[in-house]
Structure 1
Amino acid sequence: MSVRSRTTLLASTALAGGLVLAAVTPALAGSTASHTTRAAAVSSAQGDPRNVTQHVADFYGAYIDAVWSTDDKSAGDAAKALRAFYLSAAAQKKVGAFEKKEHADGVLFAQNVPVKWKVAYTGSGAGHATSRVTLFWGEGPHAEVSRIDVQSDLKTLKITDLKSVR
């Protein structure tokens, strides 16, 4: 592996790790005026870099933080780096084709950014695992919800396919 490849990989990994930490902080604090109450209710967070569903959750958390931060000039570069790190080349190509055709974000399948998200394991087979990503587009009992099935390679943990669930 060349020095440049290693440097790029290390920089992408460091960026992704930092964005994951950034994703955890707002999630723990909540998004309403009662930050203290919500932070006290959730006193810890954990993860496992070997867990495929956690890997998908880390990606979506960091990616949503990056695209949410429209006032941060580095956010666009961060979102691109996250895609490069977490998505296989084929998945990146599919996301790009969707965006060109639909004029919407191919990771979120939307033109805007959700306020909350959750990820759940839904099954595995043939060397892949599927996780269901649920995106919440508002607060309260009547908030709009969308779902995405995310397929990941069990060996590399790379996201290999994304499909909007109707």
Structure 2
Amino acid sequence: MSVRNRKTLLTAVALTAGLSLAAVTPALAGSTASHTTRAAAVSSAQGDPRDVTQHVADFYGAYIDCVWATEDPSAVAGAKALRAFYLSADAQKKVAAYEEKEHADGILFAQNVPVKWKVTYTGSGAGHATSRVTLTWSDGPNAQVSRIDVQSDLKTLEITDLKPVG
């Protein structure tokens, strides 16, 4: 089995585990108004695997699901598999260097996990596209947000660089 096929298989397993966890967590926690409201707010979703911004959104959604699930031992493996699949080798090295230096997650540029995320296309050129990831760290009208510019290769869709926006 080729390395790429293994990566694809690991990513599929990680995504399936994350989606399964997301599906059963509300049922295990019991039904409350907040769960019902959140479920109703996201009544459908769609995607396109050829769209570079969608690719970044898929990565951040699955990655945040994995790091959010601190009680699940498979979540750590899922996060590693997602990094290996979505990030170029150079981007993985940059993330690792950031984490070593800052003692924080090099994907989220933080030590905690956001409660919401949004990805927006901001432009392209020279074979790359840039997406702006907006992370929201709490609920309410005064929620803190941070932003990350994510550069992706238009041909491979791999994430090639991540930079926090000041």
Q: TM-score range by the shorter chain?
A: 0.7 to 0.9
Question: Structure 2 CA distance, aligned partners of 1:87 and 1:99?
Answer: 15
Paired residues of 1:128 and 1:152 also in contact (CA < 8 A) = yes
1:161 matches 2:157:
no
Instruction: Give the percent of matched residue pairs that are identical in Structure 1 and Structure 2.
Output: 74
Which stretch of the first structure deviates more once superposed, 3-12 or 133-142? 3-12
Cα deviation 1:19-69 (Å, max 9, x = unaligned): 57459759xxxxx84222332343211000000000000000000010111
Aligned to 1:34, what secondary structure does the other structure show?
Answer: helix
Question: Structure 2 CA distance, aligned partners of 1:12 and 1:97?
Answer: 24
Who is 1:61 aligned against?
A: 61
Paired residues of 2:107 and 2:162 also in contact (CA < 8 A) = yes
Who is 1:18 aligned against?
A: 16
**Number of equivalent positions:** 160
Paired residues of 1:20 and 1:61 also in contact (CA < 8 A) = no
Question: Structure 2 CA distance, aligned partners of 1:6 and 1:136?
Answer: 33
Matched letter for residue 52 of structure 1 = V
* Structure 2: gaps (5+ residues): 25-31
Length-normalised TM-score, structure 2? 0.88
Aligned to 2:67, what secondary structure does the other structure show?
Answer: helix
Who is 2:29 aligned against?
A: none
Who is 2:47 aligned against?
A: 47
Describe the shift of the 1:5–1:101 C-alpha distance in structure 2 as closer, same or farther (beyond 3 A): same
Q: CA RMSD in A?
A: 2.2
